[in-house]
Amino acid sequence: MEIAILALGCFWGPEKKFSKIEGIVETEVGYCGGIMPNATYKEVCTGETEHAEVVRLTYDPKMISYDQIIKYFFDFHDPTTLNRQGPDIGTQYRSEIFYNSDEQKNISLSIIEKLNHKFKSKITTKVSKIKNYSKAEEYHQKYFEKNRF
């Protein structure tokens, strides 16, 4: 099994979308990219921790490639809005790919380069090494499954 950590706005919706994809064996929401090793939702919302809301995916590379996951990532949100997705505004809602290997980094940068032509060089997605990931509080996990709307 492999891990992918992606920031694409509020983590509830992306977690639900990714959980339905064949080859994704587990989803978890959390915080990544900030200065604190164990951030909380309340702290992240201040904007002072530098964390983004993320979805942590455990996937089977025999069933789905990292390349395919990154393509879904770009399909699931608007990568041209800086620190914003829909009505959610703030640095914690930024578009960012957190890599754990040079291979993941290179795949991500290659896809961004190709998509930049489509989006006229307006992609704001950052690509960064995983830093200070922490699991979000339990009430955020599988939020839409727990809170049927």
- Give the active site residues: 10
Residues 6 or more apart whose CB falls under 8 angstroms from that of 117 comprise none
**Long-range contacts for 82-91 (Cβ within 8 Å, ≥24 apart)?**
82/124, 84/9, 85/8, 85/9, 85/10, 86/9, 88/9, 88/10, 90/45, 90/47, 91/47, 91/50, 91/52
- The dihedral region occupied by 120, where left means phi > 0, alpha psi between -120 and 50, and beta the remainder, is left
> Residue 31 gets which letter from DSSP?
E
Amino acid at 69: I
Q: How far apart are CA 109 and CA 66, in angstroms?
A: 12
